[in-house]
Amino acid sequence: MKPVLYITYDGLLDPLGYSQLQPYLRQLGFRGVPLRVLSFEKPELCSGPQVRQVEESLASCGVCWHRLRYHKHPAVASTLWDIAAGLAVAWSLILRHRIGILHARSYIAATIALGLCTLSRVRFLFDMRGFWVDERVEGGLWKKGGLLYRTFKRLEKKFLLRADAIVILSRRGAEILRGMIPSRKVEPRIAVIPTCADLELFRPDPAVRNSKNSLKLVYVGSLGTWYLIEEMVAFFEVLFSRLPESSFTLITPSDPAILENVLGKLNLVQGAAGRITIKSLPYNQVPQALSNADCSIFFIRPSFSKQASCATKFAESLACGRPVLINSGVGDHEQYVRSRNIGVVIEEFSEAGFNTALDSLLELLRDSSLAARCRTAAEQNFSLAGGVESYLELYSWLSGDRENR
């Protein structure tokens, strides 16, 4: 297999790095992939012992980690600086270690890879994930038609024109993607690899037994642009009015002030706010937090770009044997939930809609086979091992003889 350089603008020391990057990289290295990683790390996360721990953990699996400093300010200039630094270091690695495959995770990393592909004959795996440019616009971070939008839309077209293989997170996203790819002599290989979970870490806890007279909700992950925290709290208020011993726990690295602002704005019924807690946990404690709950809840604002998404918390919740309460319009979530009966899809964000969803959820929770069904869905569709096999297949294919374009 050709040596691989994995480029990610997300840091291995970020929360996402612990949940999504490091597990994959260790498994790929353990499976014999000659792998080097180039990541951009936030300086505030590089001061503790975790750097050495992560480096040793990767090295024990045969993975070499090269890191650069992530710059945030000034906004555009700092990213351009990082891209230039990434180009220089990655080019050096290609020459010194005979890199044959560039695996670029998302768009900034792909910008670096695209420049390198013009200088060498390395093969290009565009781990697109989703429609990042549209996501920035729909999230209110960029203006549609603005300079950044136009620039990255042009780059997106170049990525799709040059990539030998493309990875996307949902089948729905793949359907849309096929209509976006420019005409080529040789079509790129498209692989759907949803966000997966480490099923050895995320496991059901059979010792957990919750009361039938209350319901424990849990939310795991960041709060912000896409997650509809007001609607989730409003659902809990309906739950609390019917089962007042219920609780809602948010496990998040985000600023608690986000939740406090929502609670102040909604004027909840007396006592409801006191049953809502927010806390931050180390990644290895998240599985127990999920197992302690009855149901995982997350509402995501649906949009064009979110059709290509797959939430990390989706796989992790199912892996712990916990059903999900979600809304429609996001990736393949709804299709999985409805076809396997592993959760509830809310129809509308209203008191009537919340009550209907709650009725369905309470009925579902009475099903003694629910936990096993959730776990099976995770094993069959969202296992880290399965995701690693998919990447190994792509690496093997990309290591074959180069086809004429």
Element (H, E) at 380: helix 370-381
Asked if 314 and 248 sit in the same domain, the reply is yes
Residue 66 has pLDDT above 50, yes or no: yes
Residue 363 falls within a domain, yes or no?
A: yes
Distance CA 197, CA 285 (A): 14
Asked if 120 and 236 sit in the same domain, the reply is no
Q: pLDDT, tens digit, for every residue of 8-42?
A: 999 999 989 998 999 999 999 999 999 999 999 99
Q: How confident is the model at residue 129 (pLDDT cuts 50, 70, 90)?
A: very high
Helix/strand/coil for 114: helix
**How buried is residue 362: exposed, middle or buried, by Cβ count under 10 Å (0-12/13-18/19+)?**
middle
Residue whose tokens read 């404690």: 285
Supply the range of the domain harboring residue 173.
4-196+383-398
Give the chain's mean pLDDT.
Answer: 94
Residue 206 falls within a domain, yes or no?
A: no
Asked if 225 and 259 sit in the same domain, the reply is yes
Asked if 173 and 237 sit in the same domain, the reply is no
Asked if 372 and 391 sit in the same domain, the reply is no
- Alpha carbon 305 to chain centroid distance? 14
Residue 118 has pLDDT above 90, yes or no: no
Task: Give me the helices (H) in 227-308, please.
Answer: 229-242, 257-266, 286-291
Residue 403 has pLDDT above 60, yes or no: no
* Number of domains forming the structure of the chain: 2
**Mean predicted confidence (pLDDT) in 334-347:** 97
Strands 247-251 and 216-220: parallel
**Mean predicted confidence (pLDDT) in 89-102:** 97
Asked if 144 and 252 sit in the same domain, the reply is no
Beta-strand ranges (E) seen in 30-164 are 35-41, 64-69, 101-105, 123-129
Helix/strand/coil for 369: coil
The whole-model pTM stands at 0.93
Asked if 245 and 165 sit in the same domain, the reply is no
Asked if 185 and 69 sit in the same domain, the reply is yes
**Mean predicted confidence (pLDDT) in 68-73:** 96
Q: pLDDT, tens digit, for every residue of 176-209?
A: 999 999 998 889 999 999 999 999 999 998 777 6
Tokens representing residue 277 in the block: 């807690």
Asked if 237 and 291 sit in the same domain, the reply is yes
**Mean predicted confidence (pLDDT) in 261-271:** 90
Residue 402 has pLDDT above 50, yes or no: no
Residue 404 has pLDDT above 50, yes or no: no
Beta partners for residue 345, in sequence order: 326
